Structure 1
Amino acid sequence: MLQRLSVSIKHNAHIIFLCISWYFISSLASQVTKQVLTVCPLPLFLGEFQFIYTAILAWLTCYIAYRYPGFYRIFPRGTFPEYYSYDRETNHMMRKPSKLITLIIAPSKPILQTVLPLGLFQFVGKYFGHTATSLVPVSTVASIKTLSPMFILLLQKILKISTLKVTFTLILSLCTLVLGVWIIVQEDNRSPPSSNDLKEFSKYGIICAMISMFIFVLQNIYGKTVFTYKSQTDDSQNNSGFSRQESPLPIYEKLDEKLVAKNNPKSYDKLTLMIYISVVGFCLSFGWFITLEFPVLFKYFFQIDTLSPVIQAFPVSLFLLNGTFHFIQAMITFHLLGEISTLTYSIANLMKRFAIIAVSWIFIGRRITMLQVSGLVLNTLGLFLYERCTSQSKTKVKLRPE
């Protein structure tokens, strides 16, 4: 058994390394976001910076993938546009004729219709998420995000989308989840009796975290129709033998454009979507930024109204670090989605949230109480039971005769 475990660890060493890197970078990114919003509480500006910085890094990554086939092959198919074709005679990848200007798919009406809702979700979700992070501890925001399964089930019921069958295990998982989050939030937001203002701000921060979580739940439900490629046929494998069940990333095949448009929505590569979503999100939030936060930045840089400054400092290095972490997280996510099953990714994503909560407690430097630990344990148990219900439901669907 130990030998089998050793072989399994060696075989999946790169996946383990990616997950650990993912947890580490996500935890640091959350703390950097907290630091930025503490000294410069401008959630709209931070969102604007992330949008434009992510678009620039995504384009540069596409350029590297276009110039260097080795880098292109690191990521699963569907991460980049199809820059190369495989030549069976020479056994090499041949670059397709294209120009640097067309590194990503050219804008069109279908693309705009696809990314407009996602850009809107990103803009609103980021705003409320950043606002929450500026007002309450990172662990509070991260724990509230773990309530997403409950809201997913609720929305699926309201929208009449097929969902999990209500069982005792499912009810127990949701109750355990809510209790664990309630304990973590209560313990995180302990404050001296005299700090009434802090309590009020904390309540508003928790409301913002709930709204952000709800927005991203809507985004995930909508995103399943965008980020999952549906083939012209129902085959579980394409000609290359790559199993669609192993990854929700789109697998690209040369299909008749008219037939694809008629039968299924067109799928786009991840970097193209990332760039367009960032641009749309930037444009949607620009008007709000100019109206609400640009005057604050103007007063800070021109030293107007220095008696009650909103901005304590403008940490350029932290902004750049935050944007870089944000982009690296997305790239690791794309790679993991192409390497592991959907269920395994879901569990890994849940573990990431626990890592963020634990690292947040360490960064705060406050003594960790048994109530906080018990809340985290209940949270873990609730999500474990929910994932168990999900996996059992998928297994029954697969075994059901056609």
Structure 2
Amino acid sequence: MVDREKTELYRQAVRIVFLCSVWFTISSGGNVINKLLLNEFPYPITVSMMHVLSVCLYLGPIMRMWRVPLHKPVASSYYMKMIVPLAVGKFWASVSAHVSIWKVPVSYAHTVKATMPIFTVILARLITKEKQTTKVYFSLMPIVLGVLVATVTELSFDLIGLLSALSATITFALQNIFSKKALKETGMHHLRLLHVLGKLATLFLLPIWILMDGSRFLTEESLSDKEQWFWVRILGLLVTSGFCNFAQNIVAFTVISIVSPLSYSVANATKRILVITVSLITLKNPVTSTNVLGMLVAIVGVLAYNKAKYDQRQEEKKTTLLPTIHKNTLVHNHFQLESQPNGPTSASGYNPAYLNNLPNFSSSSSGFTGNRSTPGTTSTSGYVGSPSVMSQTRTYMDV
């Protein structure tokens, strides 16, 4: 059994490393292609439209080939409350990200996106009232400092590019939080969720694309004067960009579904380092040594934040575990019924009169509710007042 568990853990680790390697490679290449495309074809909404369309076109056949299970019907109220906002966020994040890449270098856009932990902390405080440790708050300072240094020394600074990158970062932070929540609450396969979001995002983005880019294609004379080779090249870049985004979405959603949010954040920070490095080498955008230093400080801050969050969660586990052990020990002591002098025990091994005098123990962290259940009545913990269940409780406490 132990060897089988070790083998399974090893396979899971190899799978995660492989998926992250593919994710990093596709993301780096896709960002370079997007920048080359937008330099020649400055229509970020069209690029976003190709991306969400690619999810719809490619994912359906792949799900049939992989026999991805159908999901249970989702209540219309939940659909409107959770799924539709996620789809709106998907197309908005895509458009904002492409506007930022169009206006500023890829390296700077991804440096700004490194501020995601800041927005995650703020949103968690506003939405879930989650408080952070002092260590977590201090870990945000290098991120702020690094982005400020990179912004001040950015030779190709553009305000629209900065605001678009910040908008994309905030939206991606919200998507990460609520995508995980939707997967857990609906039991939906992650590829099914991605397909649903892609179709809805295409539906929402289509009228915007018609008004913004589609009308310009019909009226601008500069586009009609382009040679045929230009359109062949642009179409090839659009298709390649869409496929890279589709593949990246599949891998990213798969990683989200099998790792914790902390592990995903670490992987995302590592991916950002590679994207920045590859873009600087291949696109050769002008940077200063101070600019690069600011990028590195921001990324180091992200890693420090992830470590601080990990330490915080470990401390929370310790503080919730100790009271649980203490309460369960009290329950265990009460179950030593044969030693109590309150009359003869029954054939089942416990004294019913004593059992009726037990206080009600309740521990939400342990899942045990010690109500005095009548025989045949199951409490929330599964306790039915039988010796076998009392043995299971003791086994649980021993573990």
**Does the alignment reach a TM-score above 0.5?**
yes
The question of whether the paired residues in 1 share the 8 Å contact of 2:190 and 2:257 is answered with: no
1:206 aligns with 2:162: yes
1:122 aligns with 2:81: no
Task: Please point out which of 199, 212, 227 is paired with 1:292.
Answer: 212
Amino acid in structure 2 at the alignment position of 1:383? V
Query: Any residues of structure 2 matched to 1:378-393 within 5 Å, and which?
Result: 378-393=297-312
1:136 aligns with 2:104: yes
User: Counterpart in 2 of 1:81?
Assistant: 69
Amino acid in structure 2 at the alignment position of 1:213? T
User: Counterpart in 1 of 2:145?
Assistant: 179
> In structure 2, what is the Cα distance between the partners aligned to 1:304 and 1:107?
48
> In structure 1, what is the Cα distance between the partners aligned to 2:47 and 2:285?
27
What SS does the aligned partner of 1:81 have?
A: coil
Q: 1:223 to 1:362 in 2, by over 3 A?
A: same
Task: Please point out which of 143, 158, 167 is paired with 2:126.
Answer: 158
Q: 1:278 to 1:337 in 2, by over 3 A?
A: closer
User: Counterpart in 2 of 1:28?
Assistant: 29
Query: Any residues of structure 2 matched to 1:48-63 within 5 Å, and which?
Result: 48-63=49-64
Q: 1:349 to 1:36 in 2, by over 3 A?
A: same
* 1:28-84 Cα distance to aligned partner (Å, 9 max, x none): 011111122221211222212111211111101111112xxxxxxxxxxxxx326xx
The question of whether the paired residues in 2 share the 8 Å contact of 1:173 and 1:381 is answered with: no
Q: Could you tell me the TM-score, scaled by structure 2's length?
A: 0.70
- CA shift for structure 1 position 369: 4.0
Q: 1:297 to 1:105 in 2, by over 3 A?
A: farther
The question of whether the paired residues in 2 share the 8 Å contact of 1:172 and 1:382 is answered with: no
Query: Any residues of structure 2 matched to 1:250-265 within 5 Å, and which?
Result: 265=185
Higher relative contact order (CA 8 A, sep 6+): 1
> In structure 2, what is the Cα distance between the partners aligned to 1:46 and 1:206?
19
Q: 1:16 to 1:274 in 2, by over 3 A?
A: closer
Q: 1:339 to 1:282 in 2, by over 3 A?
A: closer
> In structure 2, what is the Cα distance between the partners aligned to 1:315 and 1:293?
15
Q: Could you tell me the TM-score, scaled by structure 1's length?
A: 0.69
Task: Please point out which of 263, 269, 279 is paired with 1:360.
Answer: 279
Task: Please point out which of 357, 368, 372 is paired with 2:291.
Answer: 372
What SS does the aligned partner of 1:293 have?
A: helix
1:38 aligns with 2:31: no
The question of whether the paired residues in 1 share the 8 Å contact of 2:99 and 2:164 is answered with: yes
The question of whether the paired residues in 2 share the 8 Å contact of 1:105 and 1:272 is answered with: no
User: Counterpart in 2 of 1:271?
Assistant: 191
> In structure 2, what is the Cα distance between the partners aligned to 1:44 and 1:11?
38
Tell which deviates more after alignment, 114-123 or 368-377.
368-377
Query: Any residues of structure 2 matched to 1:5-24 within 5 Å, and which?
Result: 12-24=13-25
> In structure 1, what is the Cα distance between the partners aligned to 2:223 and 2:62?
42
Amino acid in structure 2 at the alignment position of 1:120? V
Q: 1:377 to 1:132 in 2, by over 3 A?
A: closer
5+ residue gaps in structure 1? 1-7, 67-79, 83-103, 192-198, 230-264
Q: 1:288 to 1:336 in 2, by over 3 A?
A: closer
> In structure 1, what is the Cα distance between the partners aligned to 2:182 and 2:258?
19
> In structure 2, what is the Cα distance between the partners aligned to 1:352 and 1:63?
30
Amino acid in structure 2 at the alignment position of 1:226? A
* 1:100-139 Cα distance to aligned partner (Å, 9 max, x none): xxxx767873574232101111122111111111110011
> In structure 2, what is the Cα distance between the partners aligned to 1:137 and 1:181?
14
The question of whether the paired residues in 2 share the 8 Å contact of 1:143 and 1:181 is answered with: yes
The question of whether the paired residues in 1 share the 8 Å contact of 2:155 and 2:286 is answered with: no
Greater gyration radius? 2
User: Counterpart in 1 of 2:361?
Assistant: none
User: Counterpart in 2 of 1:325?
Assistant: 244
The question of whether the paired residues in 1 share the 8 Å contact of 2:23 and 2:251 is answered with: yes
Structure holding more helix per residue: 2
> In structure 2, what is the Cα distance between the partners aligned to 1:11 and 1:307?
54
Q: 1:11 to 1:55 in 2, by over 3 A?
A: closer
- CA shift for structure 1 position 376: 3.0
User: Counterpart in 1 of 2:397?
Assistant: none
Q: 1:221 to 1:340 in 2, by over 3 A?
A: closer
Task: Please point out which of 217, 227, 233 is paired with 2:173.
Answer: 217
Amino acid in structure 1 at the alignment position of 2:155? R
Aligned pairs, number:
309
> In structure 1, what is the Cα distance between the partners aligned to 2:223 and 2:32?
29
* 1:314-341 Cα distance to aligned partner (Å, 9 max, x none): 6111111111111211222244345544
The question of whether the paired residues in 1 share the 8 Å contact of 2:107 and 2:280 is answered with: yes
Tell which deviates more after alignment, 379-388 or 9-18.
9-18
> In structure 2, what is the Cα distance between the partners aligned to 1:305 and 1:43?
16
5+ residue gaps in structure 2? 1-8, 324-364, 366-399
User: Counterpart in 1 of 2:357?
Assistant: none
Percentage identity across paired residues of the two chains = 22
- CA shift for structure 1 position 145: 0.9
- CA shift for structure 1 position 393: 1.7
The question of whether the paired residues in 2 share the 8 Å contact of 1:38 and 1:134 is answered with: yes
The question of whether the paired residues in 2 share the 8 Å contact of 1:81 and 1:105 is answered with: no
Q: C-alpha root-mean-square deviation of aligned residues, in Å?
A: 2.9
Amino acid in structure 2 at the alignment position of 1:109? S
- CA shift for structure 1 position 354: 0.9
- CA shift for structure 1 position 224: 3.3
Amino acid in structure 2 at the alignment position of 1:157? R
